Amino acid sequence: MKGYALTVALPKGRLFEKAYRALTSAGLDLPQPQDKRAMFFEKGDLALLLLRNADVPTYVDLGIADLGVVGKDNLVEAGRELYEPVDLGFGACRVSLIRRPEDHGPIRRLASKYPHIAELWLEQKGLSADVIKLHGNVELAALAGLADAVVDVVETGTTLKKAGLEEREVILKSTARLVVNKPALKLKAGRIRPLIERLREG
């Protein structure tokens, strides 16, 4: 964003606190969001955007934000060409193939909040299936017979077991990543590169 030395995009929700702490510990004097329902905050020459995790790659790629923090799952799903210099190590989860225990036949329909990742997995396996994008409870698609399998985020697997589903294959391991807009890396190298180094050390 114009007029700011740096504009930072952080995800709302479970990644926010650790992302905010990591960047401030590395020397960024970010504004402290008082109202988590608001989306824009400023302090001095820094601006902070609070976004849905899935939207962070788009804002950084299109130059609205200079850098951001996003889960690897959402980064891969977005398919954006971003510089990804630091694995921050927190927010660990995995994107997995999930089925009912009794289902062992071919997958003809696959439901997911991550249709791009699902399609990449099908391509890698040499399989062909209809991919259905869902926004809500993906596990229900398998339980109700909407899909032969689902691709979804798993943290501990407890919820799956309670629902009577099985994690069959880990497709992608995910942690929070620092992502940087490529033109900003050149234009604002004096601010961004030292930050990257401090995050790598910390």
Do the domain assignments include residue 81? yes
Question: What is the 3-state secondary structure of 128-171?
Answer: CCEEEECCCCCHHHHHCCCCCEEEEEECCCHHHHHHCCEEEEEE
Task: Let me know whether 154 and 100 are in one domain.
Answer: yes
pLDDT at 124: 96
Which pLDDT score is estimated for 81?
Answer: 85
Enter the pTM of the model: 0.92
Residue 1 lies in a domain: no
Determine the pLDDT at residue 109.
Answer: 97
CATH number of the domain at 123, please: 3.40.190.10
CA–CA gap between residue 85 and residue 177 (Å, rounded) = 8
Residue 1 has a pLDDT of 63
Number of domains in the chain: 2
Q: Give the pLDDT of residue 180.
A: 98
Residues 102 and 81 in one domain: no
In the block, residue with structure tokens 């040499």: 126
- List, for residues 110-129, the tens digit of each pLDDT value: 999 999 999 999 999 999 99
Identify which of 156, 159, 126 has the alpha carbon closest to the alpha carbon of residue 142. Answer: 159
Give a yes or no: residue 192 inside a domain. yes
pLDDT at 24: 97
> Are 46 and 33 within one domain?
yes
pLDDT < 70: residue spans in the chain: 1-2
Does one domain contain both 166 and 179?
Answer: no
Q: Looking at the structure, do residues 32 and 107 belong to the same domain, yes or no?
A: no
- At residue 169, the pLDDT reads 97
Q: Tokens for 143? A: 């339980």
Residue 159 shares a structural domain with residue 179: no
Residues in CB range of 127: below 8 A, 6 or more apart: 107
Place of tokens 């190590």: 89
What range does the domain containing 106 cover?
A: 93-174
Asked if residue 137 and residue 102 are part of one domain, the reply reads: yes
